Structure 1
Amino acid sequence: MGKRGPAGKPTALRVLHGDRKDRINQTEPTPPETEIVPPEWLSPDARAAWDRLAPTLIQRGVLTAWDLDAFVVLCEALGRYKTATKLVNGSALLVPAGSGLGPNPALRVQADAERIFLTYAARFGLTPSDRQALKTETGGDAHTNGGADRLLS
């Protein structure tokens, strides 16, 4: 069973909100500030999603080196969703199956990709309801202009 209750508040937000010192993780690990590049094996549709989304997420400090694999899953799910949607739009919703008609298998692929995308998109604040809970630097690179280090000093 997973953790219960609401997701934990990031340390930087705890500091901003003035949480008690004993509730602030002073030894929270931080990812290294390394260049974040897409893996060469990304599918073309996933690479298009990467190119569209990654630059601003990196700039805001939302996408870090430790988040790379999760972001790749998000991009690949978006690519699969696009491919499945093209298949669904180009054919019937019901196709011959067994002794009659059944749902187009591309609908299942589309629904699975949508579910995966929305799950991971929430982690990166890519939906309006999830984005409202994030607080980030608005100008420049969040790693050099602020973050928990700046707030805790």
Structure 2
Amino acid sequence: MGKRGPAPKPTQLRILHGDRKDRINNDEPVPPEQEVACPEWLSDEAKKIWERLAPGLIARNVLTPWDADAFTVLCESLARYKAATALVNGSALLVQGSTGLVRNPALQVQSEAERAFLTYAARFGLTPSDRQALKTEVADAKPGPGAERLLS
């Protein structure tokens, strides 16, 4: 029998969302504090995506060494989506097939990459609906102007 209801929210996101303390798993395994590195074997386009998105997620403790493989899938999915979109934009929606005009195969690749990206993006809080309730603090962030007045 399949799962019912939404996927459980990761503890870090529960904390960032401000969930009730009794709903936060304080015994969850914690990833080691080590550098999260971009895999060398990523495609060039996926590396650009990693370099653009990873620093903000790492600073908010959303991307950890244990999450690097899932984030790699996210980056490659977006890179594949961009490549398929370029193919679609450079050709027709219908192309000649063995039986006549058929739907451009790049549309299927584009659609599958989009679904994969959105699935993983939601897990990292990268979509507006997943991000709307986040209350985050950036590691090593300095208080905003006037904050010293409140702390004294």
Q: TM-score range by the shorter chain?
A: 0.7 to 0.9
Q: 1:58 corresponds to which letter in structure 2?
A: I
Cα offsets for 1:16-47 (capped at 9, x unmatched): 54444xx5433211111110110000001101
Equivalent residue number for residue 149 of structure 2? none
Return closer, same or farther for 1:2/1:38 CA change in 2, 3 Å cut-off: farther
Q: What pairs with 1:56-67 in structure 2 (closer than 5 Å)?
A: 56-67=56-67
Q: Is the 1:93–1:103 contact (alpha carbons within 8 Å) kept by the matching residues of 2? A: yes
Partner SS, residue 28 of structure 2: coil
Q: Is the 1:38–1:50 contact (alpha carbons within 8 Å) kept by the matching residues of 2? A: yes
Distance 2:136 2:126 in 1: 13
TM-score for the superposition, normalised by structure 2: 0.81
* 1:107 pairs with 2:107: yes
Q: Pick which of 131-140 and 112-121 moved more.
A: 131-140
Structure 1: stretches of 5+ with no match in the other structure: 142-153
Cα offsets for 1:58-105 (capped at 9, x unmatched): 111111111000000000000001111111111111000122100111
Q: What pairs with 1:69-84 in structure 2 (closer than 5 Å)?
A: 69-84=69-84
Distance 2:51 2:113 in 1: 19
CA RMSD, aligned part only?
Answer: 2.1
Partner SS, residue 95 of structure 1: strand
* 1:32 pairs with 2:68: no
Equivalent residue number for residue 68 of structure 1? 68
How many pairs were matched up?
Answer: 139
Cα offsets for 1:115-145 (capped at 9, x unmatched): 000000000111100111333224537xxxx
